């Protein structure tokens, strides 16, 4: 499935808003300036996800998984390589010397980071797109990328697509790469794209009435 340039821009902008909300939440909780780089967004059929991610995630991965349901349904993942996951928790918690392993407390931190990011994205479905989705507490998994992809494939049937968002967390002059993956059915993806398009139309209309369109949208 190919996106038009306009669709791609709109999707990027939509995710940007979610990411900037995530960054400000993380900054507030940790008391440190956290930035999330402007993400690059790509869409692949589910079968191609493994090959595309394998370039960036050669070893074990830490993934935070949050399924969601409603008129748009699917699975949302935040994926980090293991070493990146260790570094991210160290940077966020400033817990003295760097730890070689993720202990239970570090796993909790990762789960919360994923929780914040995925809530921001999925929350926007409800708040901005006015699409009703429900989602539960996310879960953390440590496994190989292949294992993760297998579990995604097994989750639901039918042709599905993955929106992959490449980004990096920047904290205290360090950066950790992360991947947000939204796995959607064709129907859900079409629905999402068309909702985002009409959201963008509303945005453009509101430019004429407001100097800060994003703020007015967020307050919906």
Q: Which of 19, 112, 152, 192 binds other proteins (CB under 8 A)?
A: 112
Burial of 212 (0-12, 13-18, 19+ CB in 10 A): exposed
Contacts of 69 (CB under 8 A, 6+ apart): 133, 134, 135
Within 88-107, which residues bind other proteins (CB under 8 A)? 89, 92-93, 95-97, 99-100, 103-106
Q: Does 28 bind other proteins (CB under 8 A)?
A: yes
Q: Does 220 bind other proteins (CB under 8 A)?
A: no
- E strand or H helix that includes residue 16: helix 5-30
Our CB check for other proteins shows the closer of 100 and 158 to be 100
Shortest Cβ distance from residue 138 to other proteins (Å)? Answer: 7
Our CB check for other proteins shows the closer of 104 and 157 to be 104
DSSP string, 38-85: PPEEEEEEHHHHHHHHHTT--SEEEEEEEEEEESS-EEEEEEEEHHHH
Q: Does 111 bind other proteins (CB under 8 A)?
A: yes
- E strand or H helix that includes residue 27: helix 5-30
Q: What are phi and psi of 161, to 5 degrees?
A: -120, 155
Within 130-149, which residues bind other proteins (CB under 8 A)? 133-138
Residue identified by tokens 């191609």 is 48
Q: Which of 7, 13, 27, 29 binds other proteins (CB under 8 A)?
A: 29
Q: Footprint of other proteins on this chain (CB under 8 A)?
A: 28-30, 89, 92-93, 95-97, 99-100, 103-106, 108-109, 111-112, 115, 119, 122-123, 126, 133-138
């Amino acid at each position: 499935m190919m996106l038009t340039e306009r669709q791609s821009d709109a999707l990027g902008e939509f995710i940007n808003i979610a990411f900037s909300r995530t960054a400000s939440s993380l900054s507030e909780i940790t008391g440190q300036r956290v930035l999330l780089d402007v993400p690059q967004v790509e869409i692949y059929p589910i079968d191609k996800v493994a090959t595309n991610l394998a370039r960036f995630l050669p070893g074990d991965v830490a993934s935070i998984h949050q399924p969601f349901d409603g008129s748009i349904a699917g699975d949302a993942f935040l994926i980090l390589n293991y070493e990146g996951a260790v570094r991210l928790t160290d940077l966020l918690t400033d817990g003295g010397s760097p730890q070689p392993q993720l202990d239970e407390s570090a796993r909790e931190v990762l789960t919360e980071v994923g929780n914040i990011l995925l809530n921001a994205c999925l929350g926007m479905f409800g708040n901005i797109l006015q699409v009703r989705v429900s989602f539960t507490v996310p879960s953390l998994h440590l496994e190989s990328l292949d294992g993760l992809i297998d579990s995604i494939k097994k989750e639901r049937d039918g042709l599905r697509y993955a929106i992959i968002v490449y980004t990096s967390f920047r904290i205290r002059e360090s950066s950790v790469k992360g991947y947000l993956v939204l796995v959607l059915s064709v129907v859900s993806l079409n629905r999402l794209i068309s909702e985002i398009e009409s959201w963008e139309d509303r945005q453009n209309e509101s430019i004429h009435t407001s100097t800060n369109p994003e703020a007015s949208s967020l307050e919906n």
